[in-house]
Chain A
């Protein structure tokens, strides 16, 4: 085994160990560092092994990419993390697409049939990753309507596009090499179009799954472009990333009780045309009678309940992210703990817009991660809990998921907040969450709905508690 392969193996092992270390909160920082060092090593090894270390263009491009990358990484706010990951992912996919395209265009000389096959595959997957990730980033950033975009005959168009890509793909394997250029650009254009078509009809709650899937795609695309340039290091690391992305995607699908094919087909995000009789629609009068404002007369009522509670569980949702209320939530938790109450955070696996979104935001606010509990670990505790405080969450606590057959969330495991003795919901409005299903919890007798900006209302409650405590 040559020293190149040996060193390459070292960097692959470094990458694997890095990912392994990232599986535990204690060693995660080290894991990330090990991953980045391995990457730097792999880059230098490739430059040396290919004998291309002295080409200025490469260094200029590396420097430019590093500068841009550094700039966006230090500028981005924590709340923008989902769209940031989507955007970076798109860049990686785009890069793979270019590498495969250039290989297909014959920069390595005449290309064999197997070479054509891998280059075409890399081109297709890379292009879909690029356009799909950009659409996902635009949706998450609010530059595009986050609702699924559905038009008539969409599935037909999607399938036709796929079919066209397939036909081009096969024919490009056998045609004489002077026709490849034109065919390659058609494949590029159609794959980009397919990425757009398949992402625009994904909305809201399915977005985390889509991003995770695209993350997996970009790894696979990188790995396949490794075939095109015959770089074993690229093949290995790309495959590891692709496999890890698929696992994460599967974990998320499981948490939402959806199959991947349903998400890809856009079925789950569509409202069923006829509401199922099992759906409890919200009795608006009932809710408005029960609406409280944090400084209204009834404030004492639920503030009193919180004050007298011994155990409190906080459930954060995307509304907390939108209102940037994590610091206020942390303050509230501190006050409650100061009053000798047991405070826990219950994190639904798909709360927010990407897996672990809530964990990141609460960590930003200095909430220790051993106070955060996953759904399966805490669901049995709700029935013994005095007060549940919901901050901007809706679908993940919607009991309709158990009862309302035919709705998008039916069958999704939820946090059983409704079992608690009392539920206080801080939310902007009583509109249904992303899944578009009314939440019967809002009109239950042991529920108090506090409308308004979560950051403000949480802070008001916190200071009300503090007044009485001191």
Chain B
């Protein structure tokens, strides 16, 4: 997950930008408290978004804490809630397995950074997995399916996307049973599907050059690692369809004070990110540093 899922912060009123920032800082704080300093480095927009989705309709209180990225300034952060704890644990598990995937995908030298990062995150992962065994099991199982599909050079974009979507949908299992959980499951399933496809489109040129598996290379002709206009249209169509299914599900539950942020993400943010990805303009803003500077600027 690389921060694809985000509200359009600059179009939101200041109050909402601050609210988003409080969750971002609150999740960072919770990650640090529960899993140690190393875990704070996995923080990104996608995980913040997961925390918002899992949150209660009302915002809990705030605390002022020091930001390790900017120690001179105190930040307002959401106090730790069960939703933030859940999001933090699930984020650690997802990030750890993603690093393992990186280790498997690369050779000894290029995989070194993944191995090192996974090593740093291992303790946090073990703790998170002990707290959320079902989610860890689901992640493990779906990533195995994904690896098998990669091995077979699966030409369907739906099947590998389904494995990742099921994985993310499993995050809803910890929520209390009832309509909210069903709505969350549907949103997370299609969000997972959308993220997988966005990531595949974003990495297409790189994967084509290195000869790595990417479902788009087998589903479309992808000459020279680039989608032609018709192929882009077809991919945008199926990604947009997932977004519309997210929107239909979203309208069935009241997410309270998070509504402006969620609405901005589902109705505008996802489309603009998909556009940037398909136009090949997203990679440039992908580095962690860029994102952090950006959030700092946007929420000032």
A pairs with B: no
**Chain B interface residues toward A at CB < 8 A:** none
